[in-house]
Amino acid sequence: MKKTVEVRGEVPQHWVGDGFPVRSLFSYHEGAAAISPFLLLDYAGPMEFPPSPHRRGVDVHPHRGFETVTIVYHGEVEHRDSGGNHGIVGPGDVQWMTAASGVVHEEYHGEAFTRRGGVLEMVQLWVNLPAAEKTAPPRYQEILAASIPTVELPDGAGTARVIAGELGGVRGPARTVTPINVWDLQLAAGSSVRLDVPDGFTTLLLVRTGVVKLNGSTSAQGVALVRFDPAGDGLEIACDQDASILALSGEPIDEPVVGRGPFVMNTEAEIRQAILDFQAGRMGVI
C-alpha cells in the first residue's frame, strides 16, 4: 500500500480573473519533485453566480511548456485560443490543452451560463511535459462527457469515470504525453474500494465531498488534498459518507522545473525566451 504523506485542507480561496474563485491545493512552487508529473491543481467553487449581462473570466493570456486540464462539474467555461480552437466545456466535460511550444487563450463563463446564472464548480490541473515535448506544436482535446467511459467498482462501491489512463481494463479517451491516470470517482457511503496504482507513481486524491478513511487509518473530508508516497502498488478508500473524489496518478518526470507565471520550462534561459516570444507575438493571437 502507498502510505499517506500529507492531508491538506482549509486552503484559502483567491480569485483568478473575476470568474474563478479557486483554492490552489498544490503547486510546484512548494516542491516540484514530490508532485511530478503534475504542477498545480486549482479547485474552483462551488459558488453561485447571479445572472449577469457581462461575462466573467480571464482575458487573453499565454502558456508554454505544459498542459492544462479543465474538468467542469457544474456551470460552463468558454474557451478560445490562438490555434483557432473554440468550445464550451459543460458539466462532465473535459478540456485537455497541450500548450507545449506556446498558446494564447482566454477562459470565460459560457454566454448562456452568464445570462441565467448558477453554480460553478470545476478543476484546472496543470500537467508537466518532458523537455523533448516542451517545444512541440500545441494540441487541443475536447472530451465530451458522453465519450468518457464509466466503470462500475467492485461490490457496489460506486463508479469511476476514466478520463485518462486505465482502470478495470477500461481506457480513458485523453491522449497523454507521459503515463497518467485521471479517475473521477463517486463512492457510496459504507463502501470500500482498492485502487491499483503502479509502484513509483505520484498519487494524489482531491476529496471534493464526503468523508473518507485511507488505508484504514488516515481520515480526510472535502475539500481536501491527499498526497501518498510513490512506493507501493495501491491504496484503499473507505467511505463514511457518499464521496466525490478526483484521483490523479502519474509517472514522475525526472527533470528540472523552472516556472514563472504561465510558463514552465527547464531553465531560466528558456523562461526568458518564452517571455520574449510572447511579447513578440510568436505564440499567436486569438
Which pLDDT does position 81 carry in this prediction? 96
CA distance 9 to 115: 33
211 to 23, 51, 81, 214, 239: CA distances (angstroms): 19, 33, 38, 10, 6
Up-side HSE of residue 256: CA atoms within 13 Å toward CB? 9
Specify which residues 108 forms β-bridges with: 57, 78
CA distance 143 to 184: 14
Does a cis peptide bond (omega within 30 degrees of 0) precede residue 223?
yes
CA distance 9 to 211: 12
pLDDT surpassing 90 at residue 18: yes
Return the ∠ at Cα 248 (arms to 244 and 250), rounded to 5°.
170
Query: Helix, strand, or coil here: 148?
Result: coil
The phi and psi torsions of 5 (rounded to 5 degrees) equal -100, -40
pLDDT surpassing 90 at residue 92: yes
Which pLDDT does position 87 carry in this prediction? 92
Residue in the block written with cell 453554480: 119
What does the pLDDT look like over 157-206, one tens digit per residue?
A: 999 999 999 999 999 999 999 999 999 999 999 999 999 999 999 999 99
CA distance 193 to 214: 10
Q: How confident is the model at residue 240 (pLDDT cuts 50, 70, 90)?
A: confident
pTM: 0.97
